[in-house]
Amino acid sequence: MMSAVRLLFSSSNSPMGAVIRAATWSRWSHVALVAGGVVIEAAPLYGVRQVTLDDAIGRARETALVELPARNPQKIICAARSQLGKPYDWTAVFGLGLRRDWQERDAWFCSELIAWSAAEAGEPWYRCESLRRVTPQHLWMLPPVGEMCTG
């Protein structure tokens, strides 16, 4: 049986959240990695941090918890935790909107942190050259555990 990693998708009423949703054609402006009762996230003004799951849910307008298949969820969580304290990647967020690769090597925005953590744990969801352009919407489109589209 395949294990799973849990992601918390959220949206807020903030102006930045609205811009991210519009620029990425998404319902979601943020995504965080769930590790028990906490989440690991890259947040504006804070960088990569760990907060309680209740806090993350409480500050959002809308949320969804999704489980994605993972052979070793703990390795993904450890990779994300190794980035705690790193700054938020403002240049990459602006670059996404302008379709430019302006990522900083040692800074993160929410979805690139999660995509990088999976790849670092040996479970890449995207090609290496695409990791720094992954948005919450891209992660939302991955098939969750137990769900398949038929057509």
pLDDT digits (tens, 9 = 90+) for 48-64: 999 999 999 999 999 99
Given this model, what pLDDT does residue 94 score?
59
Dump the DSSP string for 21-45.
HHHHT-S-SEEEEEETTEEEEEETT
What CATH number is given to the structural domain containing 20?
3.90.1720.10
Q: Is-contact 32 41, C-beta < 8 A?
A: yes
Backbone phi and psi for residue 38, each to the nearest 5 degrees, phi listed first: -130, 165
Q: What is the pTM of this model?
A: 0.87
Amino acid found at 79: A
Residue 105 lies in a domain: yes
* Euclidean distance between CA atoms 55 and 112, whole angstroms: 22
Residue 41 lies in a domain: yes
Of 7-11, 134-138, 147-151, the range with the lowest mean pLDDT is 147-151
The pLDDT > 90 percentage for the chain reads: 60
* Euclidean distance between CA atoms 39 and 10, whole angstroms: 12
Residue 13 domain boundaries = 3-140
Mean pLDDT of 112-121: 94
Residue 33 lies in a domain: yes
Amino acid found at 84: L
Given this model, what pLDDT does residue 24 score?
80
Domain count, the chain: 1
Residue 98 lies in a domain: yes
**Residue 45 in tokens:** 């003004």
pLDDT digits (tens, 9 = 90+) for 61-110: 999 999 999 999 999 999 999 999 999 988 766 555 555 454 556 889 89
- 38 Cβ contact list (under 8 Å, min separation 6): 50, 51, 52, 53
* Euclidean distance between CA atoms 126 and 35, whole angstroms: 22
Given this model, what pLDDT does residue 151 score?
42
Residue 148 lies in a domain: no
**Residue 147 in tokens:** 């769900």
